[in-house]
Structure 1
Amino acid sequence: MSDTDVAATPPVGGVDHHVSVDPAVAVPEPRAAADGGPDMVQLLTPEGERVPNAEYDEIVAALSNEDLRGLYRDLVLIRRFDLEATSLQRQGELGLWVSLLGQEAAQIGCGRALRPQDHAFPGYREHGIAWTRGIDPMRIIAMYRGVDKGAWNPDEHHFHGYTIVIGNQVLMGTGYAMGVQRDGAVGTDDPERDTAVVAFMGDGATAQGDVNEGFVFAGVYNSPIVFFCQNNQWAISEPNERQTRVPIYKRADGFGFPGVRVDGNDVLAVYAVTTQMLDRARSGQGPSLIEAFTYRMAAHTTSDDPTKYRVSAEVEVWKLRDPVARYKRWLMSEGIADTAFFEAVESEADELAAHVRTATVTMPDPDVDDIFDQVYVEPHQQVEDDKAAFHAYQDTFEEVQA
């Protein structure tokens, strides 16, 4: 069966979570190195065929069939959540949305490799990581709707706040990892104590000073952190070749720690590579850089128009590498999941979408005083003065209405 046949496979039921391919579009060769190159770790081809790999096969073999089916459920549900959020933004219900379409395997594979005590420092697109850390997806919706500051408890979920300042989360993650190290929670051989940190970034963020400073400190202090770069090929409108002269994973060499490129559309490969690097960090062997080679199928954000800077033929190439389609095909070929399972997941996705729609439009507006609260731990006179001035300003409207 051809790539086009695989990607265009009809849905088992409900919404088609696979990215359809237009056979009428002439698909040219991808841009330079768009296949990931010979160094890229891949365990599933785009056709859903298993690629043996002596270094990582044992990690995958440790997963039960239930675990493997769970990865598919994660992929489908987080994609459906993302599609629903995108639609809600287009309907004026969200101020902005940052889609992860096409990057589901990179996030789910990495997120499921984390242990409960590990800490994740996201950027602003890591909805799949949030999902795996037990964050209610409506908390993310609330933040993008403007009724919440993203105020989940990082201590509860070990998932820190979304970071809009590009690359800043790398510094925070590096600092946290240095603290973990000094607390003695590394290299103890206690699987429930040894802790790793993951800091997420996009390919564009690797050009930021914050990211490189984080690399320096992590390398010098041998900190227990995994830098996870989702290379989706575009830093908003700038392609990889405008950002770097070498593959991103090779940057690690200059900072004194290992780097590896993995097929970011292959959930098994991402899980295996991340598991290995997290184990390495927890054991006290220091930092590493993972480059998940993937593609941003949607716009950078809903305020972006990718047709202005990339050609549709390039998108068609990446549709053939859809992470959900390839994984489903492998599960079916191995007899790990059957039609009843896929139908149940589709039904659950429908229920999730309905819940997201209803919960979004019925979400109460925040109290205006919230903008002054939780700014400082202790009472702060400037904030109190600003709050009083704002209330006085509000009172003038009531006087006019009276």
Structure 2
Amino acid sequence: MKPKAIIVGGSIAGLSCAHTLILAGWEVAVIEKSSSPPSGSPTGAGLALDPQSQLFISSWLHHPHLLHQATSPLSFDQNQATHPQNKATRTLARDEDFNFRAAYWPHLHSLLHNPLPPHIFFWGHLFLSFTLSPDKLSVKVNLRVCKTQEIIQMEANLLVAADGCLSSIRLAFLPHLKLRYSGYCAWRGVFYYSGNEDSETIQDIRRRYPDLGKCLYFDMGFKTHSVLYEIPNKKLNWIWYINQPEPQLKGTSVTMKVSNDMINKMHQEADKIWAPEFSKLIKETRDPFINVIYDCDPLQRIFWDNVVLVGDAAHPTTPHGVRSTNMSILDAAVLGKCLHKWGPQNLALALEEYQSIRLPVTSKQVLHSRHLGRIKQGLSLPDQEPFDLQTADLDYCQQLLQRNMPFFSNATLSIH
């Protein structure tokens, strides 16, 4: 009989693991509390895929060209500064060989979800708890069926925790682990302009950002920065990071609900800090939302017996290195390769090798992303002066580029 894995979490990390474990000869069940696959959500917003992730996703699809069709190019990475008074822009650092691609989260989710067998998904099932068998050869998972409130149990050889940065499975092994608040939150929004391609707002923003559609723009202000790039189907994705005390979150999401008063105050601040074209784009975006930005000091281990962490459950990270989704995809790729190499009879060896390959990479990337965020937000740094737009020299500005990320162009994936 095929070995069986239960994957908790039906987001990008969970779907990627489903692909690689099936390819490795495993039977899988994906547990997700949402009642159905997402059809479109502004809180998904945009993301950027690095070349390695693009190759893996293409290899999992029946029609690899669909990934190219569903994404748009990010050929350049540009960091620029906006003058606080006259709002003039000057380029700080630019990479013209970036080669990422921009995706809309719900579209990437559908692309990964659609080729998978429908019967492996358990939508509307809430993970409650798990227990390991005395011989550590199997794991039983308790679930609640959201529609009926019925409690059911499933059993498998492997439990894969793809349940995000607030992972309840990780909590079972590391009950005292706390996420680290970064010191800032992110306003986010997706501006839809289909049918309004010639509007004044779009014409103005394209004049202000002439490479929009092929460039990942980082705009630096005083102790703040923003991100702007285009995603497919006439959408502009923007993010604005604001230093503030840690908000009080409710529930298990890092996304905050916002009031009209909060949005109005944000609009007023945008007028003060950003160029009129970008401020206008922000103000015309419907349903902006706030992500509270956390990360975590790198873990010492990411598996225990036959339970393994992947994605944000294994390495919560700030978003400045454009790593979260890419790390999840590479986690899944390496995990699948290790399981295929060692076979189900050597599960411990497979998970040990997965950990030995991924931890050195993700640990450095998490810490670099943290450092990059503090530079761009003008926060204190342990080994250098806070970033100052007026005095930063060329060498300092080069630190802003994404390609300084450890393992930027080729994260090690070698299976010994």
Same fold (TM over 0.5): no
Shorter-normalised TM range = under 0.3
More helix by share: 1
Larger relative contact order, structure 1 or 2 (CA cutoff 8 Å, min sep 6): 1
More strand by share: 2
**TM-score, normalized by length of structure 2?**
0.22
